[in-house]
A and B are shown apart, each in its own frame.
Chain A
Amino acid sequence: MEVNVKPRDGLQLHAFLLIFIVHSTQIGVGLVGLPRIVYLDAGHDGWISVFLAGVLGGVSLWFMVKMLGQYDSADLYGIHADVFGKWIGNFLSLMYMGYLAAAFFVIYINYIEIVQVWIFPNLPTWQLGLVLTLLSAYAVYGGIRVVVGTAFLSVMGTLWMVFVLFVPLKHSEINHIFPILDADIEQILKGAHNSSLSMMGMELVLFVYPYIKEKQKTQIFSQIGNAYTAFIFTLVTFVSIIYYAGGSLEQTIWPVISLFKIVRLPNLERFEIIAVSFWMLIIVPNLCIYLWAASKGFSRIFAGKQKWGLWILVSLIFVSSFFVKARYQMNLISDIIGKFGFYAAVCYPILLYFIVSAKNKYFRGKNNHAKGS
Chain B
Amino acid sequence: MFKWKKESKSQEVFKAHSLYIDELKEQLKNELLYSDITFRHLKKNGNRIVFCFLESLIDKSSLDEFILAPIQNNEKIEWSVQGFTQVLPLSVLTVTNQLSEIISGLIEGNVYIYVEGDPYGLLTNLSKTVERGVEKPETESNVYGPKISFTESLVSNMNILRNNLKDPNLCMQDLVVGKRVKTKAKLVYIQGIADEELVTTFKQRISELEIDYVPGNTVLGHLIENNSWSVFPQLMTTELPDRISIALYRGKVAVLMDRSPDCLYGPTTFFSYFESTEDVYMRWNMGLFLRVLRLTALFLSVLLTPAYVAVLTYHYEVIPSPMLVTLGESRSKVPFPPVFETLLLEFVIELLREAGARLPTKVGQTIGIVGGIVIGQAAVQAGFTSNILIIMIALSALGSFTTPSYLMGTAIRMIRFPIIIIAGIWGGIGIMVAFCFFIIHLLRLETLGKPYLSPVYPLQWRDLGYSFFLVPYQYLAKRPQTNKPVDKERFSEKKAKLKKDIDE
Q: Do A and B come from one complex?
A: yes
Minimum C-beta distance from A131 to chain B (A): 6
- Distance A13 CA – B457 CA, assembled complex (angstroms): 11
- Mask, A182-226, CB within 8 Å of B = 1, is 000000000000000000000000000000000000000000000
Residues of chain A in range 102-152 having any CB-CB distance to chain B below 8 Å: 115, 119-120, 123, 128, 131, 135, 138-139, 141-142, 145-146, 149-150, 152
Report the minimum CB–CB distance from A133 to chain B (whole Å).
12
Given contacts A115-B429, A145-B451, A281-B435, contact A135 B440 (CB under 8 A): yes
A279 to nearest B CB, angstroms?
A: 8
Contact of B428 among A142, A152, A277 (CB under 8 A): A277
B318 to A150, Cβ gap below 8 A?
A: no
**Interchain CB contact under 8 A, B427 and A138:** no
Check A88 for interface membership: any CB of B closer than 8 A: no
In the complex, chain A residues whose CB is within 8 Å of the CB of B431: 277
Q: Which residues of B contact A270 (CB under 8 A)?
A: 315, 317-318
Chain B residues near A119 (CB, 8 Å)?
Answer: 314-315, 427-429
**Given A135-B436, A145-B451, are A153 and B317 neighbors across the interface (CB < 8 Å)?**
no
Contacts of B319 in A (CB 8 A): 267-269
Name the one of B320, B429, B444 contacting A120, with C-beta atoms under 8 angstroms: B429
Question: Is the C-beta of B32 less than 8 angstroms from some C-beta in chain A?
Answer: no
Please determine whether A150 and B443 come into contact, CB atoms closer than 8 angstroms: yes
CB-CB under 8 A from B320, the residues of chain A are: 264, 266-269
- Compute how far the CA of A284 lies from the CA of B429 in the bound complex, rounded to whole angstroms: 13
Closest to A149 in B: B443
B429, B443, B451, B456: which contacts A277 (Cβ < 8 A)? Answer: B429
Known contacts: A138-B440, A152-B457, A284-B436. The answer to whether A269 contacts B429 by CB under 8 A is no
Q: Which A residues from 258 to 316 make CB contacts under 8 A with B?
A: 264, 266-271, 273-274, 276-278, 280-281, 284
Q: In B385-421, which residues have CB < 8 Å from any A CB?
A: none
Contact size range, B: 20 to 34
**Closest beta carbon of chain B to A31's beta carbon, Å:** 17
Query: Contact partner of B443 among A142, A264, A278, CB < 8 A?
Result: A142
CB-CB under 8 A from A145, the residues of chain B are 443, 451
**With a CB–CB cut-off of 8 A, which chain B residues contact A139?**
440, 443-444
Could you mark each residue 306-318 of chain B with 1 if its beta carbon is under 8 Å from any beta carbon of chain A, else 0? 0000000011011
Instruction: Name the interface residues of B314-367: CB closer than 8 Å to any CB of A.
Output: 314-315, 317-320, 323
Q: A1-25: which have CB < 8 Å to B?
A: 13-14, 16-17
For A138, give its contact among B432, B435, B437, B458 (CB under 8 Å). Answer: B437
Contact of B317 among A128, A135, A269, A278 (CB under 8 A): A269
Q: CA–CA, A276 to B429, complex, Å?
A: 8
The majority secondary structure among interface residues of chain A is helix
Q: Determine whether the beta carbon of B429 is less than 8 Å from that of A280.
A: yes
Within the complex, which residue of A120, A149, A276 is in contact with B453, where a contact is CB–CB below 8 Å? A149
Q: How far is the CA of A277 from the CA of B428 in the complex (A)?
A: 6
Would B444 and A142 count as touching, CB distance under 8 A? yes
User: Is A135 in contact with B433, judged by CB distance below 8 angstroms?
Assistant: yes
Q: Tell me, in angstroms, the Cα distance from A94 to B437 when the chains sit together.
A: 30
Minimum CB–CB distance from A233 to chain B (whole Å) comes to 23
Asked if A153 and B439 sit within 8 Å, CB to CB, the answer is: yes
The count of chain A contact residues (Cβ–Cβ below 8 Å) is 37
B459 at the interface (CB under 8 A from A): yes
Map CB proximity to B onto A145-170 as digits: 1 under 8 Å, 0 otherwise.
11001101100100000000000000
Question: Do the beta carbons of A153 and B457 come within 8 Å of each other?
Answer: yes
Report chain A residues within 8 Å CB of B491. Answer: none
Q: In the assembled complex, which residues on chain A have CB atoms less than 8 Å from the CB atom of B426?
A: 120, 123, 128
Residues in B neighbouring A268, C-beta threshold 8 A: 318-320
Least Cβ distance of B445 to chain A in Å?
9
Chain B contacts of A273 at CB under 8 A?
Answer: 315, 317-318, 428
Known contacts A273-B315, A280-B429; is-contact A135 B443 (Cβ 8 Å): no
Please provide the chain B residues from 281 to 313 with a CB less than 8 Å away from any CB of chain A in the complex: none
Pick from B429, B437, B459: contact of A135, CB below 8 A: B437
Establish whether residues A146 and B437, one from each chain, have CB atoms under 8 Å apart when the complex forms.
no
Known pairs A270-B317, A273-B318; A142 contacts B440 (CB<8 A): yes
The listed residue (A13, A146, A152, A274) touching B444 by CB distance below 8 A is A146
Identify which of B428, B429, B453 gathers the most chain A CB atoms within 10 Å of its CB: B429
Per-residue CB contact flags for chain B residues 120-148 toward chain A (1 = under 8 Å, else 0) read 00000000000000000000000000000
Of A14, A150, A264, A271, which one neighbours B440 at CB under 8 angstroms?
A150
Chain A residues near B439: list those with CB within 8 A.
150, 153
Measured in the bound complex, the distance between the Cα atoms of B432 and A135 in whole Å is 11
Cβ-neighbour of B323 out of A156, A267, A277, A280 (below 8 A): A267
Complex interface: chain A residues within 8 A of B453 (CB): 149, 153
Closest CB of chain B to A310's CB: distance in Å? 14
Inter-chain CA distance A267–B435, complex, in Å, is 22
Nearest residue in A to B310 (C-beta to C-beta)? A277
Complex Cα gap A120–B433 (Å):
15
Docked Cα-Cα span, A141 to B444, in Å, equals 9
B354 → chain A closest CB, angstroms: 31
A47–B443 Cα distance when bound, in Å, is 37
Residues of chain B within 8 A (CB-CB) of A264 are 320
| Whole-angstrom CA separation of A119 from B317 in the bound complex | 11
* Chain A neighbourhood of B451, CB < 8 A: 145
CB atoms of A146 and B440 under 8 A apart: yes
| CB proximity of A100 to chain B, nearest CB, Å | 20
A145→B451 CA distance, assembly (Å): 9
Interface hits, B433-477 → A, CB 8 Å: 433, 435-437, 439-441, 443-444, 451, 453, 456-459
The residue in chain B whose Cβ has the minimal distance to the Cβ of A151 is B457
| Choice from B428, B436, B458 contacting A274 with Cβ under 8 Å | B428
Q: In the complex, A150 Cα to B457 Cα: how many Å?
A: 9
Q: When the two chains form the complex, which single residue of B428, B433, B441, B444 contacts A131, counting CB atoms closer than 8 Å?
A: B433
A281 CA / B431 CA spacing, docked (Å): 11
Chain B residues positioned under 8 Å from A131 (CB to CB): 433
B459 and A269: CB pair below 8 A? Answer: no
Q: Tell me the bound Cα distance from A30 to B474 in angstroms.
A: 46
Apart from A128-B426, A149-B458, list 20 A-B contacts with CB within 8 A: A13-B458, A14-B459, A16-B459, A119-B428, A139-B443, A142-B440, A142-B444, A146-B440, A146-B444, A150-B440, A150-B443, A152-B459, A267-B320, A269-B317, A269-B319, A269-B320, A270-B317, A273-B428, A277-B427, A277-B432
Residues of A near any B CB (own CB < 8 A): 13-14, 16-17, 115, 119-120, 123, 128, 131, 135, 138-139, 141-142, 145-146, 149-150, 152-153, 156, 264, 266-271, 273-274, 276-278, 280-281, 284
Give the top 3 A-B pairs by smallest Cβ distance, nearest first: A277-B428, A149-B443, A142-B444
Write 9 A-B pairs (CB below 8 A) sorted by A numbering. A17-B458, A119-B428, A131-B433, A142-B444, A149-B458, A267-B320, A270-B318, A276-B429, A277-B428
